[in-house]
Amino acid sequence: MMFFLQVLFGVLGGFFGGLGMGGGTLLIPLLTIFLGFNQQLSQGINLLTFVVMALFSLVIHSKNGFIVTKNLIWIILGGVVFAILGSVLATYVPSLVLRKIFGGFLVILAIVEFLKIFKKQGI
Amino acid sequence: MRKQKKSFKKSKNKVKNGFNVKKKLLLILLGGVIGFLNGFFGGGGGMICVPTLEKSLNLNNKQAHATAIAVIFPLSLISCFIYVFNGAVDSLPLLTVGLGVLLGGIIGSLCLKFMSSKILRILFSLIMLVGGIRLIL
């Protein structure tokens, strides 16, 4: 049953990820809330599965010419340095605390998404 | 916001291509915010990266989605090394959940053409909202 749920939640997260809506923000709370994973484990699993999925999408997207590389290096440069900082910090914060902060992050993202949806009534 | 617009106009006058040190620093800073959040929360960087790319590099929606993956990929790669190195990831749930993500990812990519995006986005945001509240409580 546990294995079945793990696969099922993976499918759900992957589905929204494949649609380009951000699978991780769905997968992480599913794993933490319903399967009782500790927050760092859920986050680590999400990062690893994303890297594998991203490899495939990058090949497809670059073939279609959708990736714009101009000036991108600056964003990646700043990103890599602070990604190290954020990840190290995440492994030091107690799991329950990280879980609550992550919850706050999700609520903010959801509100921003709602605002965007109702701003662009046309879609 | 107003300040940013002003400085952008100035930079346009200074350099013909519209890109100077200030703009580069801004990009590094934006990247830093994306990288930090993506590393600290183990995901979600893409949701911030897409609008950032649309505004700072003037990409259209499709380009921004594809390019965001190119940004998040190296950041997530380095983050997951740190998570694994610190023993945060067990291999068994990784395999089962990973199998599911792979399946779901393929189905999601194939369904992209047939689904009404507005209903899905509302559903997605609702799940995030409820999930977020549940995690805090």
What is the value of ipTM here, to two decimals? 0.91
The minimal CB distance from A117 to the residues B69, B102, B122 is found for B122
Enter the tokens of residue A5: 């749920």
- Distance between CA atoms of B27 and B39, rounded to whole angstroms? 18
Cβ–Cβ gap B42/A53 under 8 Å: no
What is the per-residue pLDDT across B54-75, written as a single tens digit (0 to 9) for each?
999 999 888 888 899 999 999 9
| DSSP code for B115 | S
Q: Is residue B134 predicted with pLDDT exceeding 90?
A: yes
Choosing among B11, B20, B40, which should be mutated to test the A contact, i.e. which has the most A CBs within 10 A?
Answer: B40
Residue B133 has a CB neighbour count (10 Å cut-off) of 14
Q: Is residue A64 predicted with pLDDT exceeding 90?
A: no
Helix then strand then coil, % of chain B, to nearest 5 = 80, 0, 20
The domain locations on chain A are 2-119
What is the per-residue pLDDT across B89-104, written as a single tens digit (0 to 9) for each?
888 889 999 999 999 9
A105 touching B (Cβ < 8 Å)? yes
What is the nearest CA distance from B37 to chain A, expressed in angstroms?
Answer: 7
The minimal CB distance from A87 to the residues B70, B82, B133 is found for B82
Q: What is the pTM of this model?
A: 0.86
CB-count exposure of residue B9 (10 Å: 0-12, 13-18, 19+):
exposed
The domain locations on chain B are 1-89, 91-137
pLDDT of residue A100: 95
